[in-house]
């Protein structure tokens, strides 16, 4: 395995400024992500905060026993009781088989930064991954994408939950899940790893009650020796620890919402993308009502209502819920970072471009809740290249950077055009010029006899040229058929390295890579030293 950094210009303006011109948006954050002075300052903030360390450790211990976590995980959970210990944290929804590759890349990011900062600061730094089990959008996690022929196919599990419940509350339909898993593995070629990988995942699936359980078990299968600590944010035991923090979010709700709204408007005015939709009356808290997750808003009387008036609660009633039945409450993208900060001594949060965009408006919410926003670091980003695709890049003399940035469609067209002498495009352009020249006297004569006839002559030329374009396309198709093997190679490069016009990590799953290279492939990536200052890494397998 060889890993090399490449430059990759971020597409989002805000994320680009965050990485390359931080001073432009420094007022939205508390800490510069790449200054050494950040870390001691952050440690000082953590010392001034109090945490339920023992209680949280007990909850994590119980939860991770259920997932049969590795022993090093429990060692790190025990370290959390140490007043000097801190955590590096990231999170994601409980995607099937971990979902898109970027979920695993986030985990590697957490492991890398925790190891680096423990060495630099001389304090225990625990890697934590937050499973957003409260999320209820099942459509976002009920599938993975698999390469099929010259394209990608969406492999969706045949399970429709009866209610809009949180993912951690949805019991897996084992029969349908087993059938889905068999179909997924039916799409990969048999290798020395296939049988063992399939049997192990099948076992983990059968031992899981919910999709969050399945996610956790697969993650520990991929990272058994790194000391990673997983937390299901929607576990009732976690919710009981969150009572005082929910109370603060309710009491300071108006102040938090107005602050977030103000920065959101500022971002809009300065031309930054606004991926977060937030209004002044948003409470940024969900309430579980009749088995469904309902987003609350504040009305003019100060009551909390469901967006569709499903439920109405006074502030006093909602505070009572926070105290007596906190498992009925859950966070959205605005309050989740606050809850992470309240529960854990967070040395740093790691997020993708979209998450950093959200975080840019959260500083007022942190301040209203009496919290300090932690340093926010952009996660590590990777593109994996298998041997076959690497050989194809060499064959056609195409640079890896170029394909990752823009794909090979133009390269494919140029290559097929170069296979004929003279080139088809050159030939058709030459014919068009000659026809235009031969046709000119007809257009001149027609124009002299009347404007209508002149327009007809122009249309006639246009029609002839369109027919030549049609013939050119047919010639291209014929040549593509003649060179189908090469065309398939171009398609493979496109769909492996630039699928759907974007990064591989946003579409591909872990399955083809583990199937080809074994379950240690991501552990091997993590053994390399990876700087957070680099835009993107290419992993040659």
State residue 483's pLDDT score: 77
List alpha helices for 450-483, DSSP H.
451-482
Q: What b/e string do you get for 489-514 counting C-beta neighbours within 10 Å, with b at 16 or more? A: bbbbbbbbbbbeeebbbebbbbbbbb
Do 63 and 237 contact (CB within 8 A), yes or no?
yes
Per-residue confidence (pLDDT) for residue 422, from 0 to 100? 56
Quote the pTM value.
0.89
Strand partners, 153: 146
pLDDT at 150: 82
| Planar angle of CA 292, 294, 295, nearest 5 degrees | 155
User: If you count DSSP H runs as helices and E runs as strands, how many of each does the chain have, helices first?
Assistant: 23, 15
Residue with tokens 């890697």: 127
Scored b (16 or more CB within 10 A) or e, 188-218 reads beeeebeeebbeebeebbeebebbbbbbbbb
pLDDT of residue 374: 98
537 within 8 A of 1, measured Cβ to Cβ: no
Count CB atoms within 10 A of the CB of residue 18.
24
**pLDDT of 487:** 82
**Distance between CA 284 and CA 295 in Å, rounded?**
7
Task: Name residues of the chain where pLDDT drops below 70.
Answer: 420-426, 479-481
Q: What interhelical angle do 451-482 and 484-497 show, nearest 10?
A: 90
Does domain 36-139+213-236+335-380 correspond to CATH entry 2.60.40? no
Q: Token pair of 344, please?
A: 């854990």
């Amino acid at each position: 395995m060889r890993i090399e950094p490449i430059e990759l210009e971020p597409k989002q303006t805000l994320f680009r400024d965050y990485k390359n011109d931080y001073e432009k948006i420094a007022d939205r954050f508390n800490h510069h992500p790449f200054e050494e002075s950040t870390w001691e300052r952050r440690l000082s903030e953590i010392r001034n905060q109090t945490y339920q360390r023992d209680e949280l450790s007990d909850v994590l211990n119980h939860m991770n026993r259920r997932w049969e976590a590795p022993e090093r995980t429990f060692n790190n959970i025990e370290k959390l009781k140490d007043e000097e210990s801190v955590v590096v944290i990231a999170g994601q929804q409980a995607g099937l088989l971990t979902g898109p590759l970027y979920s695993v890349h986030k985990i590697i990011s957490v492991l890398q930064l925790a190891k680096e900062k423990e060495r630099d600061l001389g304090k225990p730094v625990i890697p934590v991954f937050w499973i957003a089990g409260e999320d209820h959008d099942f459509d976002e996690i009920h599938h993975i994408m698999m390469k099929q022929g010259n394209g990608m196919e969406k492999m969706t599990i045949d399970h429709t939950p009866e209610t809009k419940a949180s993912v951690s509350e949805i019991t897996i339909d084992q029969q349908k899940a087993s059938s889905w898993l068999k179909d997924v593995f039916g799409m990969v070629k048999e290798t020395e790893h296939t049988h063992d990988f399939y049997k192990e995942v099948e076992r983990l699936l059968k031992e899981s009650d919910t999709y969050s359980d399945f996610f956790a078990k697969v993650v520990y299968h991929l990272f058994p020796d790194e000391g990673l600590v997983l937390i299901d944010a929607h576990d009732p035991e976690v919710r009981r620890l969150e009572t005082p923090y929910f109370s603060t979010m309710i009491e300071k709700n108006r102040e938090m919402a107005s602050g977030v709204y103000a920065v959101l408007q500022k971002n809009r005015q300065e031309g930054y993308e606004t991926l977060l939709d937030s209004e002044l009356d948003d409470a940024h808290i969900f309430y579980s009502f009749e088995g469904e997750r309902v987003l609350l808003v504040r009305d003019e009387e100060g009551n909390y209502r469901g967006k569709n008036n499903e439920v109405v609660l006074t502030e006093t009633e909602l505070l009572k819920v926070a105290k007596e039945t906190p498992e009925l409450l859950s966070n959205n993208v605005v309050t989740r970072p606050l809850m992470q900060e309240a529960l854990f001594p967070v040395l740093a949060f790691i997020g993708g471009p979209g998450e950093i965009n959200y975080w840019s408006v959260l500083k007022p919410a942190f301040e209203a809740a009496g919290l300090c926003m932690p340093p926010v670091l952009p996660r590590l980003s990777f593109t994996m290249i298998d041997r076959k695709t690497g050989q194809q890049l060499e064959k056609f003399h195409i640079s890896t950077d170029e394909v990752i940035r823009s794909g090979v469609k133009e390269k494919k067209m140029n290559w097929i055009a170069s296979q004929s002498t003279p080139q088809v495009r050159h030939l058709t352009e030459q014919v068009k010029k000659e026809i235009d020249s031969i046709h000119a006297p007809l257009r001149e004569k027609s124009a002299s006899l009347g404007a209508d006839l002149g327009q007809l002559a122009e249309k006639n030329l246009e029609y002839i040229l369109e027919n030549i374009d049609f013939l050119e396309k047919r010639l291209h198709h014929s040549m593509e058929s003649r060179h189908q093997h090469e065309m398939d190679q171009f398609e493979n490069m496109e769909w492996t390295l630039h699928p759907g016009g974007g990064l591989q990590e946003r579409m591909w799953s872990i399955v083809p890579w583990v199937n080809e290279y074994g379950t240690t492939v991501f552990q091997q990536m993590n053994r390399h030293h990876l700087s957070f200052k680099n835009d993107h890494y290419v992993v040659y397998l």
